[in-house]
Structures are given as structure tokens and as C-alpha cells.
Structure 1
């Protein structure tokens, strides 16, 4: 009987450890990290707030302190992906020439291929059709972001910093090698894909130099 009591005591202690009071922003981030794992493991429909809470070391009611529902959690993950992309492009605003533009773009684009970015991208591909309302909302925000990026490229072309070409006319096409690298990571795993991704990155850099540097 003592052994059973002891085991129960250990379990209670472990649960209390997991439920340590944290700053709201820290707890919110833990919930998002747990949700990303659950969504990728089980799919959006099968993942529940209870399972997400358990993985995050909290209780379901605490999730409602930070998020309205499961849709809100999913949408927040997508917004985070968009925010990182926008943050990368904000670094491009003050470039002085094509060489600087290319270096900043290549470095930020391939640095963005983190584990969580790949996980969210995989989630979009596999589960997006299950939440069309969220996907439509994310897509609308993405359209505006693409327009903003295109406007920046158009400005650099007008200023003579970039050479006009079919690429600058529809600059979203520039992301094709990055998307290929992301898919390669999804299929092969980060370690096995590393050599191919590095080769693509260097080839991408050379192609942009050929296409964007003014004569």
C-alpha cells in the first residue's frame, strides 16, 4: 500500500512541476509548440485541446485564457509563419544595390527553413483542406504580403538597383527553389536534405546574380 501511495505521490509531484506558474507569454508559446506537435502527429481534426494541454503541461481551461478555440490556435500558428516572412522582408527596405539585396534575401529565405516552419508548412499541405475558412483567411493575408513585396521590388527596379526581367515582374517566383528545399526537408528529413539544400541555396544565389544585377 505504501508503494502505491508513493507512486501516486510521485505522479502528483510531477504534475505539479509541469503546472508551474509561468509568464503568460511563455505559457502561450508552450501551448503553440504543443499544438504544432499534436496537429502534425494526429491531424487537425483528431487533435484536441485536452491533448494539447497535456503536452504543454497545463489544463484545458488554461488554453482558453490564451485562445478562443482550436481554430484560433491553428490560425495563430499560421500568423506566426506570416510574421516571420514579413520580418525577413523588412530587412530588405534599405538595401543599396543588387548584391546586397541578393545576399539578404538568400540568407533570410534559407534561414527561415527551421523545424517549426517546416512543420507548419507540412500542416498546411496535409490539413489545410479540413479548415478552408482558416486557409482562406491566411491566403488573403498572404496575397497582401505578396503585393507589398512586389511593390518593393518594383521600387528597386525603378531606382535602378535591380535589373528588370520576367523575375522582377512576378517576384513570387523567386521562392520556387526555397519551396523545393522545404519539400526536400519534409521528405528526407533535415540531416539527409542538408547537402541538397546547401547546393540549391548556392545555385539560387548565382541565378539571382545573373538575373538581377544591372549591367
Structure 2
């Protein structure tokens, strides 16, 4: 088995280490988790772990990079595959909720919230890189959808963060929630879709648009 493990590509080994780190940090916190614990969880010696990461902070940063820097939106695919504002909202929600409102992301964000004072540069990096990337992607997506007639000129086109805010709130709430009172992620996704339809309805047929007309 040791020979099999020694042949694993570095990328696979790093994934194993990051998985073990999430478990160790979740159980003991940043201060309590030890490199020995992470190495043991990944099936490595401590020396083997240091061959990939020079410090606990480096492991923590890799963990954040994996879970708090999700893939950007595929703007063209989302818009091209949508033939209605409902379909557009569903596709946006699918991407945001699959990549942000998932258990690994929630566990990692819980760590970031707890340890942001210890590693403020990592918290700042998430705010500036992850959030800013999604804002920019949503802005480009809505501009393209507007050109295709899939959405009307609304406040969402000028303030695309409005479409990201519900899922960010959901993830933060889930990270802070009591384990005995889990957040109903499916219900929140459905409400998010309904909100986007009302904001983006190109024909102005949504309840909010009707009341404002």
C-alpha cells in the first residue's frame, strides 16, 4: 500500500491533505489542529505532509482556495441555454447554490468566520477575489441576457450583487446555524429563483411589476 500511495500524483495527494485538513480544523479549530493530525488523516508521515505544505497556514490557505474560490460562471452557456426568464433564474441558481451552498463550503466558511482574526489576509482575499469575481460574472451575464431579451432593465443590472446576496446569506446562516436546526437549503433556493424572476421578468408580468404598474 505504501508503494501505491507513493505513486499518487501530487494533485491527488494535495486533495487528500486538504480533505484531512477540513476534518482536523472542523474538529479542533485552527489553533487546536496539528500538522500531525492532518498528516495522519491523509495517511502520510509528517515529513510527507511537509513535502507538500510548509506550514499549517499554507494548508489552511489551500483549503480556502478550494472551497471559497469556486469556478466562475459560464456566462455564455447559462444565457444560451435559457429560453425564458424562469430558465435563466434556474440556471443562475443552480450554479450559485451548487458551488456556494454545499456542505464543504459551509464548513469552510464556518472556519473562516471563526478564524478571520487569526488569518485576516485570507478573509480579505476571499472578499476581494471570490465575491468580486462573482459580481463581475453576474454583471456580464445580465448584460448579455438583456441583449437577448431575457431580462428587462432593472436594478439587478446596475447592482448585480443583489442576485448573489441571497445565497451568501444562506451560506453564512448555515455556517452559524445550530446543527439541530439545519437551514432548509432547497426552500431558500426556490425563494431565490422566485426573487430573480420578479427582478428580471422581461415582460413585467411578475407580481411586483404588476403592482408597480
The TM-score range, normalised by the shorter chain, is: 0.7 to 0.9
Matched residue SS, 2:88: helix
Corresponding residue for 2:124?
136
Corresponding residue for 2:86?
99
> Is 1:64 paired with 2:53?
no
Cα 1:93/1:39, change in 2 over 3 Å:
farther
- Most deviating of 120-129 and 91-100: 91-100
- Structure showing greater radius of gyration is 1
Corresponding residue for 1:52?
38
Structure 1 unmatched runs, 5+: 1-15
Corresponding residue for 2:168?
179
- Most deviating of 174-183 and 83-92: 83-92
Post-superposition CA distance 1:107-166 (Å, at most 9, x none): 222333222111111111111121012223333322244223323323333443222222
Contact persistence 2:72–2:134 (CA under 8 A): yes
> Is 1:146 paired with 2:135?
yes
The Cα of 1:92 is off from its aligned counterpart by 2.6
**Aligned pair partner of 1:29 in 7, 12, 15:** 15
- How many Å separate the matches in 1 of 2:198 and 2:118? 42
- Most deviating of 88-97 and 50-59: 88-97
> Is 1:118 paired with 2:106?
yes
The Cα of 1:52 is off from its aligned counterpart by 0.9
Poorly superposed stretches of 4+, deviation over 4 Å: 87-91
The RMSD of aligned alpha carbons is: 2.9
The Cα of 1:31 is off from its aligned counterpart by 0.6
